[in-house]
Amino acid sequence: MKIQSVKQRFGIIGRSEQLDRALSKAIRVANTDLTVLVQGESGVGKEVISKIIHQLSARKHNTFIAINTGALPEGTINSELFGHDKGAFTGATGDRKGYFETAGGGTIFLDEIGEMPLDTQAYLLRVLESGEFIRVGSSVVQKTDVRVIAATNVDLLEKVRQGKFREDLYYRLNTVPIVVPSLKERREDIYMLFRKFTLDIADKYRNDPVMLDAQAKELLVNYAWPGNIRELRNVAEQLSILSEDRLITPERLIEVLPTITSRNLPQIRNGSDNDYHEREILYKVLFDMKNDLNDLKSLIFELIRNNDLEVSNVQSLKPLTLSTGGRPAPQEFFDQPPTLTKIAEESRRAPDLSYYPGEVAQESPVLINKGAYAESEIVEDNLSLESMERSMISKALKKHGGRRKEAALELGISERTLYRKIKNYGM
């Protein structure tokens, strides 16, 4: 079957090569019983891939069940998947079939497989290896003929290294990997998807579809879309229902999606998600330090002027900028912040004192009347990454009145990551 006909049948919009590659692999593997692992960010349409595989397979007339394993409580997940016998636990008033027994001859889609508890992973591995399972509270081995399609939005290999996912199960699930691209990896499809959503909404509510002007379209296409297709559909629905003017301007788009003008800090792809979030916080700390130093310099100038202190060429000193090697950082630094390695290399260079007019370093030092000031104590700042990170989280929570969702958005991390860090730091 051709990719274009599959797109029409399942309502898939897009022409990117990565999307076509994922669809092509799904079409080829559909007529087999091989286990498939669908990988991709949240909201990219991983479940659609599983439905395509099922509908194009010989199992299409049998049951298809989609299960979010991350939403099943740890205490009942084994019962939900494999069933239980009467009296197996408190509240088990009768025998119950699990999903693997119910979907015999069909397909089971296990979403968020990375959240599955370790003991359940052992049960699943046995099903994949031999088709055998045992109900909770039973000693009778049962057989099932189920095809398993799993999906994840996390790095399972990293989970394996952390001891949170079985290595043997990972390789058993990863028989055929299919990677679904995110919207930022298929920008040529973003406007097409937006037009499809707005036309569908206009047809449903019998009104005119909204249109974007050139600048609004550019904003839409260049946004990172962390929520992917789900987030794009939400924006299309809000603009279609809540906008009186059918021509959407950048200002109106920003009202609906305030973060659309924000720039994300560079991501180091070979690290874990946690490393990426910590680097984001570190970059924010560095820029805050730059602002603090500028404030401190202004304060010193004010003290010098108000107390008639002697200093050479004060007015010629320029405000401090985040620099490389003592020289002002070019504008590209703020458009594309350097890596931590680059910052470390530049910091080892000798300062370029020629930047300051009048060769300030060679002039006489500031003379301060010691009698005019009380003795002071030098306090060393805690420069550990953990302390800076904790401080940034505390400031963000205080700024947003304890609202964690908004604080997480300010810090550039997910709510789940923020919750974990608050718990780790005992905040």
- Do 305 and 340 lie in one domain? The reply is yes
Task: Look at residues 149, 181, 213 and tell me which one is the last residue of a structural domain.
Answer: 181
- Do 94 and 51 lie in one domain? The reply is yes
Residue 323 within a domain? yes
Residue 107: which CATH number? Answer: 3.40.50.300
**Spans of the chain below 70 pLDDT:** 1, 263-280, 308-384
Task: Supply the range of the domain harboring residue 301.
Answer: 273-372
CB 43 within 8 Å of CB 232 = no
Residue 419 within a domain? yes
Residue 192 within a domain? yes
Residue 150 within a domain? yes
The pLDDT, as a whole number, for residue 334 is 47
The pLDDT, as a whole number, for residue 263 is 58
Residue 398: which CATH number? Answer: 1.10.10
Residue 205 within a domain? yes
In the chain, the number of structural domains is: 4
Residue 268 within a domain? no
Q: Hey, which residues does 136 pair with through a beta bridge?
A: 84
Q: Pairing mode, if any, of strands 141-143 and 132-134?
A: antiparallel
Instruction: Output phi, psi for 181, to 5 deg.
Output: -70, 150
The pLDDT, as a whole number, for residue 388 is 78
Within 243-384, residue ranges assigned H as helices are 250-256, 273-306, 331-335, 340-347
The pLDDT, as a whole number, for residue 351 is 47
- Do 162 and 27 lie in one domain? The reply is yes
The pLDDT, as a whole number, for residue 264 is 53
The pLDDT, as a whole number, for residue 154 is 94
- Do 363 and 295 lie in one domain? The reply is yes
The pLDDT, as a whole number, for residue 277 is 62
The pLDDT, as a whole number, for residue 360 is 42
C-alpha 365/C-alpha 415 separation (Å) is 50
The pLDDT, as a whole number, for residue 22 is 96
Name the residue with tokens 């081995």.
Answer: 141
The pLDDT, as a whole number, for residue 312 is 54
